[in-house]
Amino acid sequence: MELTKEIQEFLLNNALERFLRYVKIWTTSDEKSDSIPSTKNQLELGKILVEELKELNLEDVVHDDLGFIYGYLPPSQGYENTKTIGLIAHLDTSPAVSGKDVKPVIHKNYNGTEIRFAQNPKLSLTINDSPNLEDYIGLDIITSQGDTLLGADDKAGIAEIVTTLAAWKKFPELKHSPIKICFTPDEEIIRGIHKIDKEKLPEVCYTVDGSKMGELEIECFDAWRAIIKFKGLNVHPGYAKNLMINAIYIACRFLSELPEAETPEHTEEREGFFHVNKLQGTSEEANATLIIRDFELKNNQRRTDYLKNLKKLYELRYPGLKIELDFLHQYKNMLKYLEKDKIVIDLAKKAIELAGLEVKLHSIRGGTDGTILSEKGIPTPNIFTGGELFHSRKEYIPTLALQKAAEVLMYLGYLWTQKL
């Protein structure tokens, strides 16, 4: 199968148009919400996508009450008995930075100099911030205006998948296996995927979510969440000696005991960490939330044991203090599940090579919906979208990445026609 210049131009232009349109739809998820989807705006994007999928000849298109979108694209004629694969991307953007009123900006023919932001004059993007920018000199780069994130995580993945579907419709000579599509809510808060309807998914899936051009992610963090409640005793500060148990002050001291070298800002590659992402309270009661990450389960068990021992020490040190410590195992490293079915990885590698890119096997310092699906018995590695600096106001993506990711998906659909 050959992708002509006409097809490549179609992929670039179509993916770019869709991406610029999708990022303007506010779909930030909300950790404080008890519902799924956690925000109604995710449903609004979903309604648009449902209509687009139907226009692209997908069958059995469903938009359920939880915000999941499912669809089925029949195979090319003659390939009815080939294996069905799934393509997955998520609707929400990270609550870490505002995703409301995103205004994408295309920086034409990037020349390697500092990129400035119209709505945030003090903000800039340089090669020092993201060394990969040097690889994109001469390309067009998309950013926000600096007052929001961009939303390439994961509007780029959605745009790339829908563009691939559009190309299969426009160029029927491009053969493909049966394809199932799923767009998921609340990936950023690790919530939606637990409610997915497995019966609507095939035996093999790929998420299209994050990472630079050429990357194929087959390993992820083993992930835990820790919730700590400090219960103290408030007394009038004028008469508090030997009586007050200041919960928020003690919480600060407790958290300062975490090893500084094991925090996100001091770790990289396969190094794990503690990350305090929330602390609030009063002298009477304080609450902290941490995430704990490592590629090895035994290292995270060491970290959870450290917190348990610190709890005992502080309750002895401050008589009357009560500390509640709860752990949630959020997801497991997906590598051991993917290694059982290596054809899923091998064909993704081949698709990336056919798109003219160097394959870069990468360990995700985070997770995707695929981590949960792999654990559930559906091997789901992650294919790049091409964005960088996700979850920040400096987030960006080269337009070429939108095209290349779509090329990979087209080759992937073809390669699976060769495997009965």
Residue extents of the structural domains in the chain: 5-220+333-418, 222-331
Are 174 and 82 within 8 A, CB to CB? no
The single residue of 30, 153, 187, 222 carrying the catalytic annotation is: 187
* Known catalytic membership, residue 375: no
* Known catalytic membership, residue 358: no
**CA distance readout (Å), 236 to 21, 222, 244, 322:** 56, 44, 8, 20
Report CA 319 to chain centroid distance, whole Å.
43
pLDDT along the chain (420 residues), means of 10: 94 98 98 95 98 97 97 96 97 96 98 96 95 96 98 97 98 96 96 94 95 94 97 96 96 97 95 96 97 96 98 97 97 92 95 97 89 94 96 97 98 89
Q: Do domains 5-220+333-418 and 222-331 have the same CATH topology?
A: no
What is the CATH class of 5-220+333-418? alpha beta
**What residue spans of 339-377 are helical by DSSP H?**
343-354, 369-375
d(CA 16, CA 396): 13
What is the DSSP-derived secondary structure letter of residue 261? G
The single residue of 30, 92, 215, 222 carrying the catalytic annotation is: 92
d(CA 177, CA 206): 14
d(CA 154, CA 14): 17
pTM above 0.85, yes or no: yes
Q: Report the pLDDT value the prediction gives residue 326, as an integer from 0 to 100.
A: 98
CATH number of 222-331: 3.30.70.360
Closest CA to 107 of 142, 134, 136: 142
